[in-house]
Structure 1
Amino acid sequence: MTDLSDTKPDSRRSPVKLFALCGLILFAMAAFVALGIWQIERLSWKLDLIARVDQRIHAEPVAAPEGRNINPAEDEYLRVKATGTLDNSKETFVYTSTELGPGYWVMTPLMLADGNAILINRGFVPSEKRDPKTRAEGQLSGTVTITGLLRPTEPKGSLLQSNDPATGWWYSRDVAAITADKSVAKAEPYFIDADATPNPGGSPVGGLTRVVFPNSHLSYAITWFAMAIMMAGLLVVVIRSELRRR
């Protein structure tokens, strides 16, 4: 009589398959560890950036740079001041949504004494205040000094909508396009977000710059390291299972 136990198939994996499976698990584990370390490095960079920007926005204002390209890493959110005359006839309205609701940024060229210009985001107005006649008191004349935060240009438009100079619809503060549309010569390649100094009549409302840096790097790092631990556990399970089979 034939012993059926002798005909039981061998459930052990071949050495090649076992080696390939373990290699794949080790590769995934190494990749997850590398991603976790990268996120830790990004966390360190983000914390340093937040600290530097916080120092800039609370520092004493310095003269706005003229005649040079700015470096966003070093100049963005720098607290600056500039003196000149606002050309209210060349206002541009950029659609936005703020804590005060939907409306427009009022972008006005500040004409400097040397003939250069700096585009100023004077602040927010709701739709009913878009017409300058509804906020005549805030149309400053004569020499003024604007204090605020230096911001790099925002070319082309928002993520969802592109600027359309032909129809006058703007969705981002594209300095080059706005100053070209308004025939403003010698404009600096950045704009200034005016601070919360009240304007006569209350409009536009400045000081609404959102200085927010998403910082999820620690949670991402924990996730990647947890995945690496899971891969390590899977490797142990595979090896133990194979040892039992043998």
Structure 2
Amino acid sequence: MAAVASRMLGLRAAGLLRAACVGRAGASRSVLGVTSRPGVAWMPSRCGSSAAEAPATKADDSVLQWLLLLIPVTAFGLGTWQVQRRKWKLKLIAELESRVMAEPIPLPADPVELKNLEYRPVKVKGHFDHSKELYIMPRTMVDPAREAGRISSSTESGAFVVTPFHCTDLGVTILVNRGFVPRKKVNPETRQTGQVEGEMDLTGVVRLTETRKPFVPENNPERNHWHYRDLEAMARTTGADPVFIDADFKSTVPGGPIGGQTRVTLRNEHMQYIITWYGLCAATSYLWFKKFLHRMPAV
């Protein structure tokens, strides 16, 4: 009887000890932010991690905000740069037009001086050597009657006839672009009346050599097909000096090439670029303001 009582007291003490342990564990979980309910698996609370992630997200948004602001700022800078470029181009066009309209001067004896005289009218005296004509083609005619030598509305294709001209006063032979002939008149036998002979006075505009542009074919001296003005190669082919002038319209004779084929216009598309860049600046500035500033709470 005493043994049974002693065993019952031991079991009761063990139960009380187990209950105490469970109570302490629950208290520990509560303190650590752990929720525990009967029959539900406990999960750690996310309050601490969310609080840590919030500053990082805010910092990332701030960096993105200022990076995107570079787009309108850059567009504004490029638009302003195009404004300055347009001023420079208009000034250059005005200088070229005034140079073309200047009084002709004698052709300098030193070819080095010609580097600073492009588009400047010069006058020479001598005679042509029609046996060594060169042809720059295909070309369309420039209407000499229009202002600044602008291209006419005619789309007829032809060639510029380049002929060696011996300057009797300087003792040198230069190259003269006599002007435009239609394709059917490229052969000199079809325009014999225009092959002027004898000594004559000639006025023309100084032109310098040019490099081949993209998509322009290579010159073919063997076939006498020239696509761009390569003065060194033309001089070797004809035995002339690398000096080139465009004859003016007054040099035109019946049946011969039409002179005055100097193109002095320059591309001036800077206004389009100005509108494009400033428009992009305005659009991206509006989007940036709407996304980042419009939604900010008032302080």
Question: Which among 81, 91, 102 is matched to residue 133 of structure 2?
Answer: 91
| TM-score of the two chains, using structure 1 as the length reference | 0.84
Q: Secondary structure at 1:69's aligned position in 2?
A: helix
- Given the alignment of the two structures, is residue 196 of structure 1 paired with residue 239 of structure 2, yes or no? no
The code of the aligned residue for 1:110 comes to F
| Residue-pair matches, total | 235
1:12 shift after superposition: 9.9
1:166 shift after superposition: 2.2
Distance of 1:93 and 1:158 partners within structure 2 = 20
* Residues 170, 157 of structure 1: alpha-carbon distance in 2 compared, 3 angstrom cutoff: farther
The code of the aligned residue for 1:141 comes to E
Q: Secondary structure at 2:165's aligned position in 1?
A: strand
1:127 shift after superposition: 2.1
1:78 shift after superposition: 1.2
Distance of 2:213 and 2:239 partners within structure 1 = 20
Distance of 2:171 and 2:69 partners within structure 1 = 64
- Given the alignment of the two structures, is residue 141 of structure 1 paired with residue 197 of structure 2, yes or no? yes
1:180 shift after superposition: 0.6
1:75 shift after superposition: 2.5
Distance of 1:39 and 1:13 partners within structure 2 = 41
CA contact (8 A) 1:158 1:171 kept: no
The code of the aligned residue for 1:178 comes to M
1:135 shift after superposition: 1.6
Distance of 2:234 and 2:113 partners within structure 1 = 18
CA contact (8 A) 2:134 2:225 kept: no
- Aligned partner of 1:227 in structure 2 is 280
Which structure carries more strand by proportion?
A: 1
- Aligned partner of 2:164 in structure 1 is 109
Question: Which among 49, 70, 73 is matched to residue 92 of structure 2?
Answer: 49
Percent of paired sites with the same residue? 34
Q: After superposition, give the CA deviation of every residue in 1:164-206 in whole Å (9 maximum; x if it has no partner).
A: 112322111221111111233xx14x42111111533231111
- 1:35-74 aligned within 5 A: 35-69=78-112, 74=116
1:213 shift after superposition: 1.7
- Given the alignment of the two structures, is residue 175 of structure 1 paired with residue 231 of structure 2, yes or no? yes
* Gap regions ≥5 residues in structure 1: 1-6
- Aligned partner of 1:164 in structure 2 is 220
CA contact (8 A) 1:135 1:201 kept: no
* Gap regions ≥5 residues in structure 2: 1-46, 142-153
- Aligned partner of 2:293 in structure 1 is 240
Higher mean C-alpha deviation, range 11-20 or range 146-155:
11-20
CA contact (8 A) 2:140 2:159 kept: no
| TM-score of the two chains, using structure 2 as the length reference | 0.70
- Aligned partner of 1:3 in structure 2 is none
Q: Secondary structure at 1:202's aligned position in 2?
A: coil
Bigger relative contact order (CA 8 A; separation at least 6): 1
1:13 shift after superposition: 8.5
CA contact (8 A) 1:157 1:171 kept: no
The code of the aligned residue for 1:149 comes to V
Distance of 1:21 and 1:158 partners within structure 2 = 41
- Aligned partner of 1:4 in structure 2 is none
1:106 shift after superposition: 0.5
- Aligned partner of 1:151 in structure 2 is 207
Q: Secondary structure at 2:179's aligned position in 1?
A: strand
The CA RMSD measured in Å over matched residues stands at 2.7
* Residues 122, 157 of structure 1: alpha-carbon distance in 2 compared, 3 angstrom cutoff: farther
- Aligned partner of 1:25 in structure 2 is 68
Which structure carries more helix by proportion?
A: 2
The code of the aligned residue for 2:278 comes to F
